[in-house]
Structure 1
Amino acid sequence: MLRYAIIFFVIAIIAGVLGFGGIAGAMAGIAEIVFYIFLVLLVVSLLSGLLKKA
């Protein structure tokens, strides 16, 4: 999941450098959403691991 966020972020940077503002904005938005999903799943996974050991 984090890999996809990084890929979309890199595409956004490349598109921004080449002057494709709309595509860069869309890719940055997608990267942000995927990153937040990754963070939520990470926290859920950590909490379930802690609760399972107890």
Structure 2
Amino acid sequence: MLRWAAIFFIIAIVAAIFGFGGIAEGAASIAKILFFVFVVLFVLAIAFGASIFKR
């Protein structure tokens, strides 16, 4: 998921360089959403992993 966020971020940068503002904005928002979903899932995996292996 982090890879997809990075890909959309790169698409947003390239689109912004070539002047496609709408595409750049859309790709950047998708990248932001994917990044935050990744962070939430990562924190949950660490929290539940620590609680499972604590037993």
TM-score normalised by the chain length of structure 2: 0.96
- Residues of 2 paired with 1:29 and 1:47: CA distance? 27
Aligned to 1:6: 6
Q: Distance in 1 between matches of 2:35 and 2:46?
A: 16
**Runs in 1 of length 4+ with deviation above 3 angstroms?**
none
| Ranges in structure 1 where 5+ consecutive residues have no aligned partner | none
Aligned-residue CA RMSD (Å): 0.4
Residue 20 of structure 2 aligns with which residue? 20
Structure 1 residue 53 displacement after superposition: 1.2
Q: How many residues align?
A: 54
